[in-house]
Amino acid sequence: MSGTTPTENGPPETAGGTPVRADGQDARTADTASPGAVGSLAMPEPAARTGRRHERLLAALGHLLFVLMLAGTIGLGYRLLTTLSDAPRTSDAEIDAEVVRIAAAVPGRLQALRVADGERVDAGQVLFRIAAESYRQELALAEAELAAVQAQLAEQERLLQSERANATAARDEVSRARANLELANRSLARTRAMAADGYASQQALDEARTAVGDAEVSLRQALEGARAAESEVQTARALKAQVRANEALVAIARRELEKTAVRAPIAGRVAGLRLAEGEFLQPGEPLFTLIDTASWHARALFRETDLKHLRVGDPARVYVMIDQSRPIAGEVAEIGWGVVSDDAIGALGDLPYVARTLNWVRVAARFPVRIALTDPPERLMRIGASAVVQVDERR
C-alpha cells in the first residue's frame, strides 16, 4: 500500500496529507470540477449574477416601500393636523332634548291614565284625569253665590230708580235750607243791632232767633235725607263689587275643574312613566317626563383650544353610537360661556382659595357646545345616547 494512508472516517490520504478518492483523483479538484455534485462549494457564474440582481432589486423595492410609507405617514399626519384645525372633532358628546316634567296642577286621585310609557302624544292631548266631583261641587257653589249677589244687585238697582229722584230733591232741599239759615242769621244780626239801639222790641229779637233755629233744623233734616239717598247708591256700588268678586270665584272654580284634565303642553314622547290609576296626586310633584321631539340636539364638550375655530352657525356632522354609519346634519346653535372651576373656592366677600399644587400636565378645560340637529332620524334619537361631533369651519 505504497503512498496512501487510510483514514478512520474519511477517504485515504496521500503521503503529503492530500485526500484522494477511490479512483485515485484529488478530492478537492474532483469536487470543484463536478458541477452536478451534491453540496458543491461553487455556483455557476450566470446563476450568481442573477441572484445578485434579484437581491439588489429586492433592496431597492424595500427602500422605495419605506420611502412611500414615510411619505404617507407624513401626509396623513399633516392631513390630521389640518383636519383637527379646520374641523374640530370630539367624542365627548351626547344626544339631548328639551323636556317638560308633567305634574298634577290640583290635588286628587288619579281616575284615568290615557298614555303609556314611550307613547308619542300631540299638543293638547289629554294625558290623565283626576277625580273631579268635588271640583264640580265647588263650581256649583260659587255659581249659586254669584246668582244670589246678582239678585240683590238687581233689587237694589230697582230701588235706585226711585232713590235717584229723592236724592235730587234732597240735594235741592239742602241748598234751600242753607239759604234760609243764612237769611235767618242775617235777620237775627240786624234785629239784635236794632234792639240794642231801642228800635226793635224783644219780641222781634226772639222771633229772629226762632227763625234761625228753624232754619238749622231744616238744614239737618235735608242733610240726613241726602245721606240716606247717597247710602242707597253706596249699597249698590258695594253689591256691584261683590258681584265682581263672586264672578272671579266662579272663574277660579271653573279653572280648577279644568285642571283635573292634564293635557300635553307640547308634542313629544312620554318617558319615565311609573304611575297607576287610583294613586293620590299632589300638585307640583313630577310624575313623568315629556320629551320635546322638535328640539333634538347634541351637547358636545370641546376643548378650549378648539373654541377659536367655532362660530354659531357653523355646519356640523353628528354620528350617534347607535348607528355610526349615518351622519346627521346640524349646526352650532350655542357655545357655552362658562364652566365651574375645581381649582378655586369662592367664599362670599373673600378672596378665592387656590390649592398650592402644581400640575405638570396642563389639562385643557372643556366647554359645552350645543349642536341643533336637522331632521334627525327618530329611531336614533335617545336622550343620553353617545355621539361624535365634527364641526366644519365656514369658509
Domain ranges of the chain: 84-98+291-341+350-391, 133-258
pLDDT of residue 172: 67
pLDDT of residue 261: 97
Half-sphere exposure of 208 (CA within 13 A, CB side): 20
Instruction: Please state, in angstroms and rounded to a whole number, the distance separating the CA atoms of residues 159 and 150.
Output: 14
pLDDT of residue 388: 96
Give the tens place of pLDDT for each residue, 310-328: 999 999 999 999 999 999 9
pLDDT of residue 37: 43
Say which amino acid occupies 186.
Answer: R
32 pLDDT above the threshold of 70: no
Instruction: Please state, in angstroms and rounded to a whole number, the distance separating the CA atoms of residues 243 and 301.
Output: 60
Task: Give the mean model confidence (pLDDT) for residues 278-290.
Answer: 94
pLDDT of residue 7: 43
30 pLDDT above the threshold of 50: no
pLDDT of residue 180: 75
36 pLDDT above the threshold of 50: no
pLDDT of residue 125: 96
28 pLDDT above the threshold of 80: no
Instruction: Please state, in angstroms and rounded to a whole number, the distance separating the CA atoms of residues 22 and 14.
Output: 12
Task: Give the mean model confidence (pLDDT) for residues 373-385.
Answer: 94
pLDDT of residue 296: 96
301 pLDDT above the threshold of 90: yes
CB 95 within 8 A of CB 298: yes
Say which amino acid occupies 82.
Answer: T
Quick one: which H or E segment has residue 302? strand 297-303
How far from 216 is each of 207, 213, 226, CA to CA, in Å? 14, 5, 15
**From 36-40, 243-247, 300-304, 309-313, the region with the lowest mean pLDDT:** 36-40
pLDDT of residue 294: 93
Give the tens place of pLDDT for each residue, 79-135: 655 555 567 999 999 999 999 999 999 999 999 999 999 999 999 999 999 999 999
Burial of 88 (0-12, 13-18, 19+ CB in 10 A): buried
Instruction: Please state, in angstroms and rounded to a whole number, the distance separating the CA atoms of residues 264 and 127.
Output: 6
Tell which wins on pLDDT, 375 or 57.
375
Place of cell 354620528: 319
Tell me the CA end-to-end span of the chain in Å, nearest whole number: 103
Say which amino acid occupies 137.
Answer: Q
CATH architecture of the domain formed by 84-98+291-341+350-391: Beta Barrel (2.40)
Angle value at C-alpha 204, between 201 and 206, nearest 5 degrees = 110
- Percent pLDDT > 70 in the chain is 71
pLDDT of residue 322: 94
Task: Give the mean model confidence (pLDDT) for residues 148-164.
Answer: 76
Task: Give the mean model confidence (pLDDT) for residues 243-262.
Answer: 95
Say which amino acid occupies 277.
Answer: E
Q: pTM higher than 0.75 for the full model?
A: no
pLDDT of residue 14: 44
Chain mean pLDDT for the chain: 79
**What's CA 279's distance to the chain center, in Å?**
29
pLDDT of residue 268: 95
139 pLDDT above the threshold of 60: yes
Nine-digit cell at 81? 393636523
Instruction: Please state, in angstroms and rounded to a whole number, the distance separating the CA atoms of residues 81 and 193.
Output: 121
pLDDT of residue 70: 82
Task: Give the mean model confidence (pLDDT) for residues 219-240.
Answer: 70
Instruction: Kindly indicate the confidence band of residue 13, based on its pLDDT and cuts at 50, 70 and 90.
Output: very low
- Percent pLDDT > 90 in the chain is 45
pLDDT of residue 193: 75
Task: Give the mean model confidence (pLDDT) for residues 263-278.
Answer: 94
Instruction: Please state, in angstroms and rounded to a whole number, the distance separating the CA atoms of residues 30 and 284.
Output: 111
Who contacts 296 (Cβ-Cβ below 8 Å, separation ≥6)? Answer: 95, 96, 97, 373, 376, 381
Who contacts 384 (Cβ-Cβ below 8 Å, separation ≥6)? Answer: 94, 95, 96
Instruction: Kindly indicate the confidence band of residue 6, based on its pLDDT and cuts at 50, 70 and 90.
Output: very low
Nine-digit cell at 87? 374641523
Q: What is the DSSP letter of 292?
A: E
pLDDT of residue 390: 94
Q: Alpha helices, DSSP H only, in the chain?
A: 27-33, 45-86, 133-197, 202-258
Instruction: Please state, in angstroms and rounded to a whole number, the distance separating the CA atoms of residues 307 and 129.
Output: 49
Q: Using alpha carbons, select from 97, 86, 84 the residue that is nearest to residue 372.
A: 97
